[in-house]
Amino acid sequence: MLFGDSGKWRANAFRQIPQIVEDEAFWQTIRDCLASLPSNLADVFMLSVLEEINSEEICKVLEISASNLWVRLHRARLGLAKCVSEKWSTDGKV
């Protein structure tokens, strides 16, 4: 687990990251969690984080303001963090 019972990062959380990003179960959890988000949140997250498209281009494509983009990204990250923390753990239990 990346977070302890207090909700704070565990001391060894960052040492686990190289193994985590190579774990297929992790990526399946990310895909499942993205699919569970409202499409307007999942879309901006995928375009910004996974596709690495700059914010100006995303705003043009989606016809939204920069402020709205940042709000959507924030909500998407919160939703993903909650979903991933509920559905996936670093000890191999999904």
Report yes or no: 40 and 21 within 8 Å, Cβ to Cβ: no
The pLDDT score that the predictor gives to residue 39 is 96
User: Domain for residue 5, yes or no?
Assistant: no
Using pLDDT thresholds of 50, 70 and 90, give the confidence band for residue 2.
low
47: containing domain:
14-87
Secondary structure, 3-state, 32-90:
HHHHHCCHHHHHHHHHHHHCCCCHHHHHHHHCCCHHHHHHHHHHHHHHHHHHHHHHCCC
User: Domain for residue 36, yes or no?
Assistant: yes
Number of domains in the chain: 1
Residue 68 vs residue 12, higher pLDDT: 68
User: Domain for residue 8, yes or no?
Assistant: no
User: Domain for residue 6, yes or no?
Assistant: no
The 10s digit of each residue's pLDDT in 3-48 is: 666 666 666 655 565 666 676 777 888 899 999 999 999 999 999 9
User: Domain for residue 32, yes or no?
Assistant: yes
User: Domain for residue 7, yes or no?
Assistant: no
Answer whether 0.75 is exceeded by the pTM.
no
User: Domain for residue 4, yes or no?
Assistant: no
The pLDDT score that the predictor gives to residue 27 is 82
Number of Cβ within 10 Å of residue 76's Cβ equals: 23
Question: CATH number of the domain that 25 lies in?
Answer: 1.10.10.10
